[in-house]
């Protein structure tokens, strides 16, 4: 079914959710945090509030900003208070609602849980604990009204649980599909992709070996398997030190908060990936498969922002999980990664396909 | 068929009609045995391909992971195959295995070798109930 | 399949602590007396396969490399590492050399068990050059360990049936090859075992490392030891006799009399369970809970290695399965049977459609 270009624009302007969501599965909504407009508006405001940092300059939107694909592209790693840098590239909030865990190493099981951690991380917002946040919202009359409307709670009764739920509810509205790929694959528009992009799709599901981790299904596509893999990024830097770094975590029996601090402040430990969270040797250097939707808006790439462009990403995979062809592969490389033997043309087609995953309409915020 | 042989066939048909016997798809026990033999010959070729390790580029044979074609579940196809992201036939999955663990080149789906392997796989799985779509 | 759900992290953390940070403790045995911890890392069935020149099948190489790298990270270090057999695929010198090279990175004492893929090209001549005797025993911390060469077969098949050594190796290499021949320990080695065990008291735990199962499980695929009954009889008088075997590339466990049997995983590839072959009867041990099926895209799925803890006198196996759910099988104090501790925790649907 062909939708005339102009008509497609009209459908979008009219705010039809359906047109914007083509290719997306239903947004999973937890039973204990149903979506309401009041909650979403409150979450939007909290998300953009810089008072929840020691310098009064950093909010969630500092690193997850709508105009830059809900990341801080082109920053390699994010910058928090006073320009302090962490070790990880900012993952996008756009379509994060579909992730089954949050953070590159999956140490958080939900959007609600994730939202509490950056506030108290020394290189992000730097607060010692969550009390300053509660002090601000309890003091602010407008917040008081918003929390009351959203949760039926009086000012003294506002807790971090409410804050987290509101932020998560807002993030669940930051979803977008309807890319040229979605229109071609799910919408049946035969010329929504050109020949090169279609060839890119074909390679994506065959020689490129992409689809097993960056999942496309028969009725929707999240482009992630929600699992964790070592694809040879970053870990090569610490190959000789894996034993002492790993042993430090194995002996320490760290809490989630301690892991949160360690992996963002120590660039070497950061490369242990999910191993730092589970201390399972099978997860050495593993990081979460991110979505590929809107990937052309979120350069640079990978958990450490170490790969600058999409062609370089394809090259990394083509080399079988090393930056330069012929480099030694790390011992813990995931079994799905191996040299691909793609021609230059084939690599270009894959890049073209990835660029066709960009949604025409990116949700913005009503808060500045 | 050539023009002449078509003419001959038409004549034969008329002759049969005149003879007054029923046509339809009549076959004898001998026919059944014979055609099963034709099938077995193909399945045997499939078995040979299954074990010889020359389908790919690294010497790995299908039989190394699938002795007696075990764990191929031909009775579940077509089905959603997550390695391919869509609903496929077993021939397409055979191609996936040739390209991936065997590091070889895919074949056309009507290639006699693909057909032979399907014959072998199905033969080793004879008697098992059909469960299309089952993971 | 692996559960990556961090809400189960508490469980995972606990299991991780068990696997990676086993403390050294003195434990009283049910039989009386005290025993120290014995931790053994067991790596098996790597099937290093030569293509040509300096090229080997990458998939199998990666499996062995990973097992070695993970083993080297263990805390505390294992007492020793066992290699469980089938280092090579066709027993050639390049394969055995390449496998030995990868294993040389292990920073622990290694004991070697031979498999049929190592043996049938030259009857273990090069293997013995590299790794020593094909059967032997030793004592460690009050436990008697035995390595058997359990993949021998009838003299006629071994010496007279095949025109070349290469042919013989190829015939034995095919699991489902109708021209194969059943494994056995053989009369000569059984006599050696009887003499060896004479010096061992009934209450000493005995652990036998073997390639074939010392049971009769599935003759069709040579999951079989022809003289299993005779060997089991020799082990019968011990309060705690245990057999650890490779060859099957899947999780199996069983108890016959007082003997606990445990299979180990392959680092190379997993095999289907025998009941998945519709045309032949199989006798998989009833107690065995099958491992999860593999996703063939993830090359290490349903492959792995295992950490064996013998501190109770009975082995507990922690199966480290990359890309699949780790499993722990050990003695259930209530029933005395080997038992899968994780089974009850599984929150995934049955994966037993092989």
In tens, the pLDDT along A97-115 reads 999 999 999 999 999 999 9
Residue of C12, C73, C321 with shortest CB distance to A243:
C73
**Residue range B32-135 in CATH 1.10.760.10:** yes
Give the Cα separation of B70 and B124 in Å (integer): 8
- The runs of H, that is alpha helices, within B20-131 are 29-52, 62-65, 90-99, 112-124
Q: Can you give the pLDDT at residue B25?
A: 83
Residue A18 has pLDDT above 50, yes or no: no
Tell me which residue in B82, B86, B87 faces A212 most closely, judged by beta carbons: B82
3-state secondary structure A288-355: ECCCCCCHHHCCCECCCCCECCHHHHHHHHHCCCCCCCCCCCCCCCCCCCCCCCCCHHHHHHHHHHHH
A289 pLDDT band (50/70/90 cuts)? Answer: very high
Taking phi over 0 as left and psi of -120 to 50 as alpha, with beta for the rest, B37 belongs to: alpha
- Concatenate the DSSP letters of all residues of A2-59 into one string: ---HHHHHHHHHTT-HHHHTTT--PPP--TTS---HHHHHHHHHHHT-GGGSTTS---
pLDDT at A327: 84
Candidates A99, A114, A90, A112; CA nearest to A27 is A99
A124-128, A356-360, B126-130, C23-27: least confidently modelled range: C23-27
**pLDDT for the residue numbered C275:** 86
| Two tokens, residue C252 | 């199996």
pLDDT for the residue numbered C11: 31
User: Helix, strand, or coil here: B79?
Assistant: strand
Q: Which residues of A touch B85 (CB under 8 A)?
A: 205, 211, 215-218
Instruction: Answer whether C297 touches B (CB < 8 Å).
Output: yes
Largest CA distance in chain A: 64
Angle between helices A310-318 and A344-355 in degrees, nearest 10? 130
* Nearest-angstrom CA–CA distance, B80 and C207: 45
With a pLDDT cut of 70, the percent of chain B lying above it is: 84
Residues 6+ apart with CB under 8 A from C104: none
Q: Residue C334 has what pLDDT?
A: 86
Residues 58-117 on C with a CB inside 8 Å of A are 58-59, 62, 65-66, 68-70, 72-73, 75
pLDDT for residue A79 is more than 70: yes
In chain A, residues with a C-beta closer than 8 Å to the C-beta of B83 are 211-212
A216 → chain B, closest CA residue: B85
Q: Which two tokens stand for residue C185?
A: 């320990």
CB atoms inside a 10 Å sphere around CB A218: 11
pLDDT one-digit tens code per residue, B92-116: 999 999 999 999 999 999 999 999 9
With contact defined as beta carbons under 8 Å apart, do C211 and C86 qualify? yes
Mutate to test the interface with A, among B80, B85, B97 (most CBs of A within 10 A): B85
Residue A188 confidence (pLDDT): 94
Q: Which residues in chain B are closer than 8 Å to C270, comparing Cβ atoms?
A: 65
Partner-chain contact A218 B82, CB within 8 Å = no
Q: Answer yes or no: do B135 and C269 touch at CB < 8 A.
A: no
> Considering only CA atoms, which of A295, A254, A257 is closest in space to residue A275?
A254
- Nearest-10 crossing angle of helices A131-139, A141-151: 100
Least confident piece of the model among A37-51, A232-246, C77-91, C189-203: A232-246
Burial degree of B87 (CB within 10 A; 0-12, 13-18, 19+): middle
How far apart are alpha carbons C154 and C222 in whole angstroms?
Answer: 14
Checking if the pLDDT of A50 tops 50, the result is yes
Please give the pLDDT value at position A48. 96
Q: Cα(B63)–Cα(A317) distance, rounded to whole angstroms? A: 29
Q: What per-residue confidence (pLDDT) applies to A261?
A: 85
Are the beta carbons of A109 and C320 separated by less than 8 Å? no
Give the integer Cα–Cα distance in Å for C293 and B97: 16
For residue A218, list chain B residues with Cβ-Cβ distance below 8 A: 80, 85-87
Average pLDDT estimate for A91-95: 97
Cβ–Cβ contact B83 with C under 8 A: yes
Query: Which domains, from first to last, does chain C contain?
Result: 12-343 (3.60.21.10)
- Tell whether C277 lies on the interface with B, counting CB pairs under 8 A: yes
Please report, for chain B, how many H helices and E strands are present, in that order: 5, 2
- Residues of chain C in contact with residue B97, where contact means CB-CB under 8 angstroms, are 296
Residue B88, helix vs strand vs coil: strand
User: In the prediction, which pLDDT does C347 show?
Assistant: 53
Cα separation of C45 and C63, whole Å? 10
pLDDT for A10:
31
Per-residue pLDDT tens, chain C, 354 aa: give them: 333 343 333 333 333 333 332 222 222 223 334 567 889 999 999 999 999 999 999 999 999 999 999 999 998 899 999 999 999 999 999 999 999 999 999 999 999 999 999 999 999 999 999 999 999 999 999 999 999 999 999 999 999 999 999 999 999 999 999 999 999 999 999 999 999 999 999 999 999 999 999 999 999 999 999 999 999 999 999 999 999 999 999 999 999 999 999 999 999 999 999 988 989 887 778 778 788 888 899 999 989 999 998 877 889 999 988 888 888 888 888 888 888 877 655 555 556 665
Domain locations in chain B as residue ranges:
32-135
Task: Give the Cα separation of A215 and A226 in Å (integer).
Answer: 9
Q: Of the candidates C9, C295, C300, which has its C-beta nearest A278's C-beta?
A: C9
Q: Which token pair is C131?
A: 């790794």
**Statement: residue A367 has pLDDT above 90:** no
**Which residue, C86, C54, C80, C1, is CA-closest to C268?**
C86
CB A230 within 8 A of CB A281: no
Taking the C-alpha atoms of residue C7 and residue C23, their distance in angstroms, rounded to an integer, is 26
Torsion, Cα A307 A309 A310 A316, to 10 degrees, reads -30
Task: Give dist(CA A154, CA A70) in Å, integer.
Answer: 32
C264: nearest Cα among C243, C284, C282: C243
Distance CA B11, CA C301 (A): 64
Specify the pairing of strand C253-256 against strand C206-210.
Answer: unpaired
Task: Record the tokens describing residue C82, joined without a space.
Answer: 């066992």
CA distance C187 to C190: 5
In the prediction, which pLDDT does C351 show?
62
Interatomic CA distance for residues C117 and A341, integer angstroms: 32
Q: How many helices (H) and strands (E) does chain A have?
A: 16, 2
Please judge whether B86 and A205 are an interchain contact, meaning their C-beta atoms are less than 8 angstroms apart: yes
Best mutation target among C59, C276, C323 (most B Cβ atoms within 10 Å) is C276
Alpha helix ranges (H) inside C104-255: 116-119, 125-131, 155, 165-173, 187-198, 228-235
- Could you give the residue ranges of the DSSP H alpha helices within A79-186? 111-114, 131-139, 141-151, 160-171, 180-185
- Work out the minimum CA distance from C232 to partner chain A, whole angstroms: 36
β-strand partners of C28: C34
Cα–Cα distance for residue pair A352/B82, rounded to 1 Å: 23
DSSP string, C14-79: HHHHHHHBPPP--EE-TTSSEE---EEEEE----B-EEETTEE-HHHHHHHHHHHHHHHT-BSPPS
Instruction: Name the minimum distance, in Å, from the CA of B63 to any CA of chain C.
Output: 8
Per-residue pLDDT at C342: 75
Q: What distances in angstroms separate CA C116 from CA A65, C86, C161, C264, one per listed residue? A: 61, 6, 17, 16
Q: What is the mean pLDDT of residues A127-153?
A: 95
Of residues A207, A212, A217, nearest to B83 (C-beta): A212
Residue A324's pLDDT band (cuts 50, 70, 90): confident
What is the average pLDDT value for chain A, to the nearest integer?
A: 91
Q: Determine the pLDDT at residue C337.
A: 87
Mind telling me how many Å the CA of A93 is from chain C's nearest CA?
A: 20
């Amino acid at each position: 079914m062909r939708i005339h270009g102009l008509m497609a624009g009209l459908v979008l302007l009219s705010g039809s959710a359906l047109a914007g969501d083509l290719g997306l599965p239903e947004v999973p909504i937890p039973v204990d945090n149903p979506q309401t407009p009041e909650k979403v508006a409150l979450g939007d405001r909290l998300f953009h509030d810089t008072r929840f940092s020691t310098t009064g300059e950093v909010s969630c939107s500092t690193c997850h900003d709508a105009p830059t694909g809900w990341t801080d592209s082109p920053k390699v790693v994010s910058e928090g208070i006073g320009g302090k840098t962490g070790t990880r590239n900012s993952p996008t909030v756009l379509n994060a609602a579909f992730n089954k865990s949050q953070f590159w190493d999956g140490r958080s099981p939900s959007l609600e849980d994730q939202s509490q951690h950056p506030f108290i991380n020394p290189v992000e917002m730097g607060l010692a604990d969550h009390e300053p946040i509660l002090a601000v919202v309890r003091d602010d009359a407008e917040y008081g009204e918003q929390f009351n409307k959203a949760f039926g709670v009086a000012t003294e009764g506002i807790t971090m649980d409410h804050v987290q739920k509101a932020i998560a509810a807002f993030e669940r509205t930051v979803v977008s599909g309807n890319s040229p790929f979605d229109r071609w694959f799910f919408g049946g528009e035969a010329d929504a992709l050109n020949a090169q992009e279609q060839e890119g799709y074909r390679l994506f599901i065959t020689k490129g070996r992409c689809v097993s981790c960056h999942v496309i299904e028969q009725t929707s596509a999240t482009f992630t398997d929600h699992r964790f893999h070592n694809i040879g990024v970053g870990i090569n830097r610490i190959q000789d030190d894996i034993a002492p770094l790993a042993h430090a975590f194995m002996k320490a029996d760290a809490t989630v908060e301690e892991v949160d601090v360690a992996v963002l402040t120590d660039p070497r430990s950061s490369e242990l990936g999910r191993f730092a969270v589970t201390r399972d040797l099978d997860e050495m250097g593993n990081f979460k498969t991110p979505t590929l939707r809107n990937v052309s808006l979120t350069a640079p790439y990978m958990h450490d922002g170490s790969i600058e462009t999409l062609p370089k990403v394809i090259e990394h995979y083509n080399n079988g999980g090393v930056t330069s062809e012929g480099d030694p592969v790390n011992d813990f490389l995931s079994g799905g990664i191996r040299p691909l033997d793609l021609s230059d043309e084939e690599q270009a087609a894959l890049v073209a396909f990835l660029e066709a995953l960009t949604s025409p309409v990116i949700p913005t915020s009503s808060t500045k | 068929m050539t023009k002449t042989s078509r003419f001959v066939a038409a004549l034969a048909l008329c002759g049969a009609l005149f003879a007054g016997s029923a046509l339809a798809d009549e076959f004898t026990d001998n026919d059944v045995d014979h055609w099963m033999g034709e099938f077995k010959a193909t399945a045997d070729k499939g078995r040979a391909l299954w074990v010889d390790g020359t389908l790919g580029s690294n010497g790995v044979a299908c039989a190394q992971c699938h002795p007696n074609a075990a764990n191929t579940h031909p009775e579940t196809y077509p089905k959603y195959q997550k390695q391919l992201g869509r609903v496929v036939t077993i021939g397409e999955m055979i191609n996936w295995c040739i390209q991936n663990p065997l590091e070889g080149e895919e074949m056309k789906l009507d290639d006699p070798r693909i057909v032979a392997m399907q014959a072998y796989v199905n033969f080793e799985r004879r008697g098992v109930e059909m469960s299309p779509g089952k993971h | 399949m692996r559960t990556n759900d961090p809400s189960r992290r508490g469980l995972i953390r606990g299991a991780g602590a068990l696997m990676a940070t086993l403390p050294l403790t003195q434990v009283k045995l049910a039989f009386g007396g005290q025993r120290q911890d014995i931790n053994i890392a067991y790596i098996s069935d790597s099937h290093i396969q030569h293509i040509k020149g300096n090229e080997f099948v990458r998939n199998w190489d990666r499996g062995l490399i990973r097992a070695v790298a993970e083993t080297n990270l263990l805390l505390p270090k294992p007492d020793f590492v066992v290699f469980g057999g089938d280092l090579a695929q066709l027993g050639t010198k390049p394969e055995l050399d390449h496998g030995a090279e990868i294993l040389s990175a292990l920073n622990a004492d290694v004991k070697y068990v031979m498999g049929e893929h190592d043996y049938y090209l030259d009857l273990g001549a090069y293997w013995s050059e590299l790794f020593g005797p094909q059967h032997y025993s030793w004592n460690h911390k009050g436990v008697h360990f035995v390595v058997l060469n359990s993949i021998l077969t009838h003299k006629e098949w071994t010496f007279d049936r095949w025109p070349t050594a290469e042919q013989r190796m190829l015939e034995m290499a095919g699991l489902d090859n109708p021209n194969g021949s059943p494994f056995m320990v053989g009369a000569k080695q059984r006599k050696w075992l009887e003499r060896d065990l004479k010096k061992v008291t009934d209450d000493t735990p005995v652990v036998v490392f073997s390639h074939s199962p010392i049971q009769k499980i599935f003759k069709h695929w040579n999951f079989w030891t022809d003289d299993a009954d005779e060997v089991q009889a020799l082990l019968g008088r011990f309060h705690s006799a245990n057999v650890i075997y490779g060859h099957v590339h899947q999780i199996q466990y069983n108890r016959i009399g007082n003997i606990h049997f445990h299979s180990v995983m392959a680092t190379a590839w997993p095999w289907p369970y025998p009941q998945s072959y519709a045309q032949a009867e199989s006798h998989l041990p009833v107690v065995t809970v099958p491992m999860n099926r593999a996703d063939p895209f993830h090359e290490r799925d349903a492959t792995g290695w295992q950490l064996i803890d013998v501190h109770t006198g009975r082995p507990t196996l922690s199966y480290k399965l990359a890309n699949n759910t780790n499993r722990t099988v050990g003695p259930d104090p209530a029933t005395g049977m080997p038992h899968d501790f994780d089974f009850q925790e599984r929150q995934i649907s049955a994966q037993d459609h092989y």
